[in-house]
Structure 1
Amino acid sequence: MEVQLSEERVLRLVPQLTLDDARILVENKKVHLVAGTVGALFTRPKPEEITLSYSELRYEPFWQVTACTHMVYERQRMFTVSASGPEVKQITLLGQQQPTQPQPKGSPTIVLSGVEHCEEDQRLRRMFTGDGTNKQDLERYLSFGSEEVIDLASYSWDGACMPPDTKAGAIIRQVITEIVRPVKAQVIHTENVSVEEIQLFFRPVYAFEYLWAAKNKRVVIECDGLTRDLTNGGKTFKKQIKSLLDRDLLFDISADAVGTFVPGGGIFVKLTKAAMNFKQS
C-alpha cells in the first residue's frame, strides 16, 4: 500500500468584523445573555448595571483533512445460471459444454467459476476541532477568506493563538482508518491512499467578560469573528496561552509512524510525502 501525503498548510481565517464591531453587537444583547431567565422582568438588570471587565481576540484551531483511495483488485466468484426449462440438459458457453444440474424447484442450473475485475475509488473530507473531535459543521468556515501562514515562528498574530491539543498524526490516523477498509480479493494490483489536504485553520473568536455586580455574577459572551453568532457561557484566557506554535510538532508525520495509520497488521506501507522546508537559514 502506498500512502501519499500532500503539503501541509496553516491558514488564518480573516475576521469579518473588528473588536469594536463585535463589542457593539454584544452590548445590544448583553442583558439577555448575562441575566438569562433569572427572575421576573422587574428584577432584570439595567444595561448600565452590567459592565465590561475584559475583552480579547483569540484564534481557535480546527483541522481539515481530505483523503481518497484507489484500488484495483480481482476476486473469484461462482456464477449460477438458470436454464430456460427442465428439458435443457446441457449448455454451451464460450465454446465449452456444461451439463445442467436438476433443482428441486425451478429450472436446472449450471455453476461457472469466474473472476471479477474491480476498480474502486473513495473520497472523503473530515473536519476536527483542536481536541480531535469530528465536527463536520466546521465546513461552514471554509467559505471565508483566509491568509496562509508560511512561517509560524515569525508570523504576527493580532490576537492570542491557541495551539491544537491533537496533532496532525492523530487526525490523519482517524481519517485513514475510516477510508481504508478490507476488501474480499484474491489479488490486489493497486492500493493507494492519497491525503490530498492537510490543513490547520485558525478562526477568530471575540470574548467579552461582563460583571453583574448586584449578583456577583461573571459571564463571558463570545462573538464568532466570521459568522457574528453570539453565545454565552464562554471562556477567556487572559494571555495565559504561552505555548509556541512549532510546525514540526503540529505536523508530526513520519515514515516510521505512517504504518500505524493503516488498520490491521502486516501491511507493507510506502510513504510519499511532499518535500517542504519552512526553516530560515
Structure 2
Amino acid sequence: MELRLPTPHAFVVNPTLQRDVAQQQAVDKRISIVAGGLSGLFSRPKPEEIDLAYAEFRYEAFWHVVATVRYVFERNKTYTVPVTGAEVRKVTVLGQEFEVVTPQPQQSQQSPAGFLQQIGQQIGIAGNVTRTFNLPAVEYCIDENRQERFLEVAAGQAVQNGADYVKKDKTELTNFATLSAEGALIATPQMTASKVLRTLLATMTKQLEADKVLEEGTTVETCDLYFRPVYAFELAWRPKNKTAVVEFDGVTGAMINGKVMRSGGAMLAPEALFDVNADNIASLFPSTVVNVQLVS
C-alpha cells in the first residue's frame, strides 16, 4: 500500500460575532433564557432578579480529513453467454471456438412429460431452456473510494456544520499559545491526527477479489485542525435558585442551550497533535494491509 500525506495545517475560524456583542444578547434575552418552558405571569422572572453569573470564551476544535483509497487490479472471470437459437452448437469469438452447452437436468423424480423435456434439453430442441457458452475473460478493475470527515477533537464525534465552518474566513495558526492569550479555554484533545486517520481508513480499505493487484494506494488530501470560537453565559435567577446556560456560536451567531467548561485542559504540542510519521504509518491501516510505503 502506497501512502501519500499532505502538509498539515491548523486554522482559527474567524468570528463574525464578537464576545461583547454575544454577552449583551445573553443579557437582553435573559428572561426567556432562564424561564425556558415556564408559562404564566407569576412563574416568569423579573429582569432585576437575573444575574450574569459566569461568562466563558472557549475554542472547540475539530479535524477536517479527506482521503482516497484506490485499487487497480485484474481478476479472471468466466462469463456465461446465452444463445438464442436451438440449432447453434458452437460459437467463434475473436477466432476462438466455444461449445454451446445445455444446463444439466436436476436429478429428481419427474413425470413422463418432464423426462421428455430433459431429453429435449440435452439435444438442444427445448425452446424454453436457455443454452449458453462460457467465455473466459480478464476483468480490469478500478475501485476508488473518497471520504471526507469532520470530527471533534474531544471524542471523535461528527461535527454537524463542519463543511460550512471550513469555508468561512479563517487564519492559519502558527503558534498555539495565541489561542489562550485572551483567556480562552480549550479542552485537552483526545483525537490526534493518527487516531482520526486510523478511524477513517478502517472503513475504506478492503480485501480485494483479485488475481493480480496493479496499484494499491491511499492519498490523504487534507488533514487539518480547526478551532472555532464559542461563547457561553450562565444566568442565575436568584429567588428560585435556578441557573441556565446559553451558548453562542462565534462563527454563525447561532444561540442554543449550551454548557460551560469552566476550566481548560492541557493543549498538546503541534507535533503531538500532528503525530503521523514514517515510523507509525503502518498502524494507520488494518492488519490486513501490509507493506505500507510512504511516497511523496
Deviation at 1:157, TM superposition (A): 4.0
- For the 8 Å contact 1:153–1:245, the answer to whether it is kept is no
Larger Rg: 2
CA RMSD of aligned residues (A): 1.9
* Residues 257-266 or 184-193, more deviating: 257-266
Query: Which one of 182, 187, 202 corresponds to residue 207 of structure 2?
Result: 182
* 4+ residue segments displaced more than 6 Å: none
- For the 8 Å contact 1:26–1:230, the answer to whether it is kept is no
The change in CA–CA distance for 1:186 and 1:115 in structure 2 (over 3 A counts) is same
The change in CA–CA distance for 1:228 and 1:154 in structure 2 (over 3 A counts) is closer
- For the 8 Å contact 1:62–1:164, the answer to whether it is kept is no
Written as runs of structure 1 = structure 2, the 5 A alignment for 1:1-281 is 1-38=1-38, 40-103=40-103, 104=121, 105-130=128-153, 131-153=155-177, 157-158=181-182, 159-237=184-262, 240-265=263-288, 267-272=290-295
* Residues 82-91 or 258-267, more deviating: 258-267
Give the SS at the match of 1:72. strand
CA distance in 2, matches of 1:212, 1:61: 32
In structure 1, the gaps of 5 or more residues are 274-281
CA distance in 1, matches of 2:15, 2:131: 72
- For the 8 Å contact 2:188–2:265, the answer to whether it is kept is no
CA distance in 2, matches of 1:201, 1:90: 66
CA distance in 1, matches of 2:243, 2:268: 31
- For the 8 Å contact 1:9–1:148, the answer to whether it is kept is yes
CA distance in 1, matches of 2:29, 2:177: 38
Between the two proteins, what is the percent identity of the paired residues? 34
Deviation at 1:49, TM superposition (A): 1.1
CA distance in 2, matches of 1:29, 1:69: 50
Cα shift readout 1:136-178 (whole Å, capped 9, x = no counterpart): 4322212211100123256674323334221111101111112
* Residues 19-28 or 35-44, more deviating: 35-44
Cα shift readout 1:229-262 (whole Å, capped 9, x = no counterpart): 112241132xx22513301111122333222222
The change in CA–CA distance for 1:92 and 1:138 in structure 2 (over 3 A counts) is same
**Residue 215 of structure 1 aligns to which amino acid in structure 2?**
K
Return the TM-score normalized by structure 2: 0.85
